[in-house]
């Protein structure tokens, strides 16, 4: 068996799994190796990362292995997240932002129900860019956080008030969300390029 190749495959799997991570059993099923062998390969991979001074590491959280950045580099990541030039938003972030803009105040679980996928990373991105904020707590079990847009959101998209948003579709579905998100993003891009030429 080519152990280097298997470690490379595991690294790719962890990258693709994102925040969810994978446990050793899941990895073993995918690469068709015993769980114990997978754990050994993961430990080797962790050591490889440390030895080569990589900017990422493998951590185990609740039995799931994840790729994460190094905590000692946090100041640089915070600068990137808050940099004015870092204005590009992923499709997932744009869709999440469109849902919040039209449905606020809204909880994470309600956003995920509309999108059909988890949105924790998108929410973090939007909060770090100060486009959304916590606006309160919903009633019910656990009193989940309610999210809403910010003054920076209005400025970013050239809106005077939320009422200036285009009329939302009657039944907001994921395809319509994507269209609204793209329209908002295109408008913001045009506004930004206009300002850059002034």
All domains of the chain in start order, with CATH: 3-69 (1.10.10.10), 78-197 (1.10.10.10)
pTM score, whole prediction:
0.47
pLDDT at 193: 43
Q: Which two tokens stand for residue 150?
A: 């910010």
pLDDT at 145: 93
pLDDT at 196: 39
pLDDT at 178: 66
pLDDT at 83: 59
pLDDT at 90: 80
pLDDT at 148: 95
Residues 160/154, Cβ–Cβ less than 8 Å:
yes
pLDDT at 190: 47
pLDDT at 81: 62
C-alpha distance from residue 140 to each of 100, 107, 143, 146, 169 (Å): 20, 12, 5, 12, 28
List, for the chain, all residue ranges whose pLDDT scores fall below the cut of 70. 80-87, 168-198
């Amino acid at each position: 068996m080519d152990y280097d190749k298997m470690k490379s495959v595991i690294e790719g799997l962890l990258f693709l799994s994102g925040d969810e991570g994978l446990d050793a059993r899941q990895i073993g099923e995918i690469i068709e190796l015993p769980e114990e062998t997978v754990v050994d390969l993961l430990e080797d991979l962790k050591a490889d990362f440390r030895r080569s001074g990589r900017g990422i590491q493998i951590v185990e959280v609740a039995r799931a292995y994840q790729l994460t950045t190094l905590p000692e580099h946090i100041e640089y990541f915070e600068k990137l997240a808050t940099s004015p030039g870092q204005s590009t938003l992923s499709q997932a972030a744009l869709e999440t932002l469109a849902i919040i803009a039209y449905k606020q105040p809204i909880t994470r679980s309600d956003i995920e129900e509309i999108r059909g996928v988890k949105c924790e990373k998108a929410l973090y991105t939007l909060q770090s860019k100060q486009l959304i904020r916590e606006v309160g707590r919903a009633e019910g079990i656990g009193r989940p956080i309610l999210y809403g847009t910010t003054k920076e959101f209005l400025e970013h998209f050239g809106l005077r008030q939320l009422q200036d948003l285009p009329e939302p579709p009657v039944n907001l579905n994921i395809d319509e969300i994507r269209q609204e998100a793209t329209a908002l993003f295109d408008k913001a891009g045009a506004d930004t390029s206009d300002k850059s030429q002034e």
